[in-house]
Amino acid sequence: MSAEAAVPTGGHFSLAGLVKPLLQPLIAVAIAVVVGGLLVLSLGENPFEIYWLLISGSLVGWPNFLVTLQMMSPLLFTGLAVAISFRAGLWNIGAEGQMIIGALFAGIAGFAVDLPTFLHIPFCLAAAFLGGLLWALIPAVLRVWLNVNEIVVCLMMNPIALLFSGYVSTHLLKAPGPTNKLPDIAETAVLPTFSLYSQVNAGFIIGLALCLLFAAINGWTKKGFEWKIMGLAPRFAYYGGIKVPLHAVVVMMISGGIAGLGGAEQVLGEYRAFYDNFSPGYGFDGIAVAMLANFNPIGVVLAAFLFGALNGGSAVLQMMTGLSKYLVQVLQFIIVLILAAQFTWGWLRSRKNAITAQEDRLEPETEES
Amino acid sequence: MSASDVVEITGVVKRFGDFTAIHDASLTVRKGEVHAIVGENGAGKSTLMNILYGLLHRDAGEVKLFQESVNFSGPAEAIAAGVGMVHQHFKLAPTFTVADNIILGSEPMRSLGRLDRERAIRETGEISKRYGLDLDPRAIISSLAVGLRQRVEILKALYREAQVLILDEPTAVLTPQETRELFATIRTLAENGHSIIFITHKLREVLAVSDRISVMRQGRIVATLDNKDVTAQEIASLMVGRTVLLRVNKSKAKASDEALLRVDGLTARGERGETAVDDLSLTVRSGEIVGLAGVQGNGQDELVECIAGLRRQVSGTIDICGRRAAADPRANRAAGLAYIPADRGGVGLSLDSAIWENLTVGHVEEFGRGPMLAIRAARQRAGSLIQSFDIRGAELDKRAGSLSGGNQQKVQVARELTRDARLVLAEQPSQGVDIGAIESIHRILVEMRDAGRAVFVISADLDEIFSLSDRILVIYRGRIVADLLTEETDAETVGRYMGGLDEPAPPDQHKPDTGSGDEASAHVR
Amino acid sequence: MLKSILGRGLAVALAIGLGSSAYAQDKLKVAMITSESGLGDRSFNDMMVEGMKKAEADFGAEYVVIQPRAVSEFQSAIARAAGQGFDIIIGSSFDMIKPMQEVAKAFPDQKFGLVDVGPEPLGPNVVSTVTKDWEGSFLVGWIAAKTTKTGKIGFVGGKDIPIIHRFFIGYYYGAKMANPDVEVFESYSGTFTDPAAGKEYTLALINEGSDINYAVAGSTSAGVIDAAKETNTFAIGVDSNQNYMAPGNVLTSMMKRVDTQAYDMIKSIADGDFKGGEVLYYGLAEDGVAAAMDEYNDGLIAEDVLADVDMLKQKILTGEIVVPNYFDLEPGQKEMGKPPMATPPSVADAK
């Protein structure tokens, strides 16, 4: 985590404290906008027109706005999941797999169980949370007890989740018909949608509430405080009496559970059945969202909104200009690239500082006295 | 200068930021000699050699090699000019063979860029025979013992036709048998006309192998002597120096009989699996400051980590304030341990976190309101600590890393010493701290003692040990080799123990538990 | 109830949101919605764009391609295109049935089209198509029987289920009509997603002497094609043109011509004879199925065999040949199709 990202606020707010954390992501977005504009220009289109279409296609008018909310819904969950773990120094890049398993659990709980609505939805949500949690538990346990790098394990768990859920939805429990999916969930498990134009559903509210909840946890609770210290300086946290291994497992489980809830939002609210290969990469987009958000849950809401708007506006852009959907993806990739560059630069810088500090420590220490 | 001088360093200065690591150092090394550079850790030995090897750039002065002024921009140039260096930590590819490692970077090639592996193996075999270094060129590095790996490093330098070979603490990782073999190799090389620069802080080794000896202290070469003209005693006093001690105003210790730290038969392993702490026992009582002196790398770090709960011992026990300690910092802190680590950036502070957060870690329970954290109260307390400990330049929301070293240290001290902890473990408390801050930190430690706490200071700085401690323990090779009353000893004596010169120590001075006789003598008024 | 009221309110808002359409009013305007795999899939989406291009050339139709990223985005993509002045909105995925029905209900004046789905009508303003894959299979069965050197050909289905039997029956009928002596092996790998199993089953068929194997098995088909490549025999692809997957070893592909189907939908708008609620059947005679011919299988099929295609087409058109649809067969039925022919044992012996 870079120096800027670490500017603490806690319970204390100042103007600088509010603006500074926004600076880095804003720069990334600004550069992406400029590069994207040049790209559009090279395609012979007017960048201002294109950007206006993107903005109006995602924000102006209820239908467009609701589509944006739909597009951002899964990112609220995966972004928050990644942000929570990254903030605590755990590189959970397995949100994709955890979301898929959560979706699978929700999909099974949705069709296989007969319950009244007020029980069925919470039951499916709990199943999804549990699914994501279990999937995240594997890298967490390997990390804490066997010191296996969680990045590698998470990375491997993603395709395993995809293939496993594919096996279930094309073999074990496949619904009749040409599509590889589970049977439709019962009406009692459906998260209600509000509009013909958009599949945005009650899951959006859940995601938003979770982000607010974790903003409060991060800012005001002992756990939130300890997770932050743990993320920035794990040895310090351990020496300071924080149960780092235990917390690491807990944070990974919460992170996985939230990603799993993202899967429930998809299945219960948007698809109404578990579809094989349903995700176009929401878990990976979540990493970008979390980075853009500086691992801040409120930032996750803003970053997810930005990505949602880009994707929401994309369809209108394609409709009105014939420009491909890839323009929007290119914009997203540029943002990610710049964030990654900023991140790596900050990391290299702090590493360099650490090395210099170490040389200082090893060599010239006693002379000062 | 004479024609036989292969290395001539004149007036070299090296600064790290505001801090000067090497002051005006001058040194000559002759052809075919073994030149030892001795000095305490931190005296600047490695820094100076890294400048010669091109790893660091000097800020002033001149380096001549074979009569020619050089200014290497990196080790590659130094190697090309005939300088080789074997670092303390080997830089070998463990899954490759000996021959592969030796040729790595200067591979013999056949036409069309093909690697000539046969030639590599043949040549490796030849040079290893020539210098009496018995090595199988086809052996895989990871299967070799440490001493043999070191030979590979030496051969690697010789393969590149190094005339000047720098060995940085080469014996630190070797067994006595391997050390003897290394010394034989060094003599052979010198007889073949190579110049060996041998960095160490072990006086016996210096006397055993070197032709000339340069002593470094505080970034300066304070003397260069012929081996035959000098005694270990003289080298030791040159190393330790006779600097004016910063004496802390303090009354005599009123140590009670209550042991707040009792270490019994502790054995622990270091990072490389070696026995770093060897059946060590010690006691620190309420109302006294005990200093642990020793050259770095003799097991202090491992001992401290065991007490702090950051390392699991192999055997032995540790009792903190009467409670059996485990490898769990949380439990040990609860038992009454306050620990000021030397590694501020890694262990003692979160440099990227706000100062108030750094001051709150370890005190979280005090500000817990159920699951919530009373941030306002925590910040208030942090504010008053900044005031009372006079942490300069500190603001609640500033990064701890933005503070100077001394003020970072004060943050640690403020946090640790405001805990209700009866045992204070202070590791290098004045490291990287300016003089004004040292005084106030020392004063605080003495106040702690006077309040009936037990203070255990670990320091590589003898001045600090002498100015603070009521009693001095000397650690050497993982054992306590001396238990001395500060007022009855002097720096030379302690320095000798640190260098392992009085080994084996008299039994009453290094037996596991400080006997009642010692304690009685410690309390002679 | 509430939903549809809300929907209409939102339609107005959407129109405001988008402002005026960017297109001139007199031109024919088409929106094509791809499946989630999007353009570049070398399958239905790419093929359908070809239909768009043809319509552009023939009627000056302007088209846009909207590529949703996921099945969950189908409905919003269709809904936001509805009421935007497109003459027709055409979808290319089976998973669009429900979303399109929903949107079509809310926009009764908007015309929709959906290719290659089931026989159920989708709504008064939606035209849908059924591809007569059994006729396509009939065609490749004919070609296979005329091409085989061993007199034995094979079939690798994904699963032993009716929809796949439909392909086999067509294939069998075509092969037997071309050459009553040809042997047709029937096998099912049990999976649509395992190329390794596909290869295994195919190698077993080749072992028994089959030198042409028709793969109707989703991604399992890749294994069938791989086996053909390894043994230098032939495979036959399905759905889209798969000839490129192993040039020289894919004899042809039974192609569902979704481009023709989409083109015809646009044509019906241009001609003013669009009939909402219609389900159109596309077989050999309607150019709704074809044996794919391109540079990858050039010269693999004899000229006179290729010439047969027109003859078969003609006979199907006149009703002289009726390729049996598996769903019309009874278990245990001994004869099938027109002219009648012995049913394969798997059906004839079924109880």
| Residues C23-77 pLDDT 10s | 445 789 999 999 888 888 888 899 999 999 999 999 999 999 999 989 999 999 9
Which region holds residue B169: left if phi is over 0, alpha if psi is between -120 and 50, else beta?
left
Of residues C208, C212, C209, the one with CA closest to residue C225: C212
Cβ distance of A60 and C17 shorter than 8 Å: yes
- Touching A (3+ Cβ pairs <8 A), the chains are B, C
Q: Which residues contact A297 (CB under 8 A, 6 or more apart)?
A: A80, A83, A84, A210, A211, A212, A214, A215, A218
Q: Which CA distances in Å does B368 have to A9, A84, B138, B377, B381?
A: 18, 21, 62, 10, 14
* Chains A and B contact (Cβ–Cβ under 8 Å for 3 or more pairs): yes
Q: Which residues contact B338 (CB under 8 A, 6 or more apart)?
A: B416, B417, B419, B421, B423, B424, B425
Contact at CB, C36 and A170, closer than 8 angstroms:
no
pLDDT score at A237: 93
Q: What is the pLDDT of residue C81?
A: 92
- Specify the residue for token string 């959560």: A102
Contact A319 C66 (CB under 8 A): yes
Residues of chain B with CATH 3.40.50.300: 1-82+163-241, 259-336+420-522
pLDDT at residue B92 is higher than 50: yes
Q: Which of A278, A319, A327, A332 to mutate to test the interface with C (most CBs of C within 10 A)?
A: A319
Q: Which residue ranges make up each domain of chain A?
A: 22-346
Q: Which helix (H) or strand (E) holds A222?
A: helix A222-232
Q: Tell me the nearest-neighbour CA distance from C183 into chain A, angstroms.
A: 29
Are the CB atoms for B209 and B186 separated by under 8 Å? yes
Touching pair C, A by Cβ (3+ pairs < 8 Å): yes
Pick among C8, C32, C49, C69 to test the A interface (most A CBs inside 10 A): C69
Looking at residue B519, what is its pLDDT? Answer: 37
More confident position, B269 or B174? B269
Span B97-102, average pLDDT: 86
- State residue A363's pLDDT score: 35
d(CA B216, CA B235): 10
What pTM, to 2 d.p., does this model score?
Answer: 0.76
In the structure, what pLDDT confidence band is assigned to residue B435 with cuts at 50, 70 and 90?
low
User: Is C79's CB within 8 Å of A197's CB?
Assistant: yes
Q: What number of helices (H) and strands (E) belong to chain A?
A: 13, 0
Q: How far is C149 from chain A (nearest CA, A)?
A: 35
With bands split at pLDDT 50, 70 and 90, how would you rate the model's confidence at B241? low
- β-strands C183-188, C212-216: how paired? unpaired
More confident residue, B58 or A15: B58
Strand C112-114 to C126-131 pairing:
parallel
Q: How far apart are CA B490 and CA B482, in angstroms?
A: 13
CA distance B511 to chain A (A): 30
Contacts of B244 by beta carbon, 8 Å cutoff, 6+ apart: none
Predicted pLDDT of residue A351? 54
- For domain B259-336+420-522, the CATH class is alpha beta
Q: What's the mean pLDDT when you consider all of chain B?
A: 83
Do residues B309 and B341 touch, judged by C-beta distance below 8 A?
no
A250 touching B, CB under 8 A? no
CB pairs under 8 A between A and B: 166
A222 contacts on B by Cβ (under 8 Å): 364, 367-368, 371-373
CB contact under 8 A, A11 and B434: no
Tokens of C152: 């034995």
Q: Does domain A22-346 have CATH number 1.10.287?
A: no
The pLDDT, as a whole number, for residue A8 is 38
How far A321 CA lies from chain C's nearest CA (Å)?
A: 8
C131 inside 8 A of chain A by CB: no
Please state whether the peptide bond connecting residue B504 to the residue before it is cis, i.e. omega within 30 degrees of 0: yes
> Which amino acid, B311?
R
Inter-chain residue contact A64 with C17, CB threshold 8 Å: yes
Q: Which CATH number is correct for B1-82+163-241, 3.50.50.60, 3.40.50.300, 1.10.10.410, 3.40.50.2300?
A: 3.40.50.300
Look at A233 and B430 and tell me if their CB atoms are within 8 Å.
no
pLDDT of A349: 63
Q: What is the pLDDT along chain A (369 residues), one digit of tens a residue?
A: 333 333 333 444 455 566 667 777 888 888 888 988 898 888 888 889 888 888 998 998 889 999 999 999 999 999 999 999 999 999 999 999 999 999 999 999 999 999 998 999 999 999 999 999 999 999 999 999 998 989 999 999 999 999 999 989 988 888 887 778 899 999 999 999 988 899 999 999 999 999 999 999 999 999 999 999 999 999 999 998 899 999 999 999 999 999 999 999 999 999 999 999 899 999 999 999 999 898 999 999 999 999 999 988 888 888 888 777 888 888 888 888 887 787 777 666 665 554 444 443 333 333 332
Q: How big is chain C by its Cα radius of gyration, in Å?
A: 22
Asked if A243's CB is within 8 angstroms of B347's CB, the reply is no
Residue A352: what pLDDT? 52
Chain C residues lying within 8 Å of A320, measured CB to CB: 18, 21-22, 64
Shortest CA gap A280–chain C (Å): 6
Q: Which residues of chain B neighbour A243 with C-beta distances below 8 Å?
A: 330
Contact check, Cβ <8 Å, A63/C31: no
Q: Give the nearest partner residue to C103 out of A196, A271, A311, using CB atoms.
A: A196
C-beta atoms of A196 and C3 within 8 A: yes
In the β-sheet with B212-217, what is the strand arrangement from edge to edge? B83-86, B164-168, B195-200, B34-38, B212-217, B220-226
pLDDT digits (tens, 9 = 90+) for B370-395: 899 999 999 999 999 999 888 878 88
Q: pLDDT digit string (tens) for A225-250?
A: 999 999 999 999 999 889 999 999 99
Partner residue facing A61 (CB), from C14, C65, C72: C14
The per-residue pLDDT for range B63-83, each reduced to its tens digit, is: 998 888 888 888 888 888 899
Q: Give pLDDT, residue C233.
A: 95
Burial (CB < 10 A; 0-12, 13-18, 19+), residue A79, is: buried
**Mean pLDDT, residues B140-158:** 84
d(CA B196, CA B36): 8
Whole-angstrom CA distances from A281 to A93, A204, B124, B175, C317 are: 12, 18, 53, 56, 47
Q: Which domains does chain C have, with CATH numbers?
A: 2-114 (3.40.50.2300), 134-255+290-348 (3.40.50.2300)
Nearest to B353 among A17, A233, A358 (CB): A233
Nearest of B171, B108, B96 to residue B138 by alpha carbon: B96
A344-369 as b/e, with b when 16 or more CB fall inside 10 Å? eebeeebeeeeeebebbbebbbbbbb
Asked if B422 and B406 count as a contact pair (C-beta separation under 8 A), the reply is no
Instruction: Give pLDDT tens digits along chain C (351 positions).
Output: 344 434 433 443 444 344 334 444 578 999 999 988 888 888 889 999 999 999 999 999 999 999 998 999 999 999 999 988 899 999 988 889 999 999 999 999 999 999 998 889 999 999 999 999 999 999 999 999 999 999 999 999 988 888 899 999 999 999 999 999 999 999 998 877 788 999 999 999 999 999 999 999 888 889 999 999 999 999 999 988 999 999 999 999 999 999 999 999 999 999 999 999 999 999 988 999 999 999 999 889 999 998 988 899 899 989 899 999 998 888 888 888 888 888 888 888 876
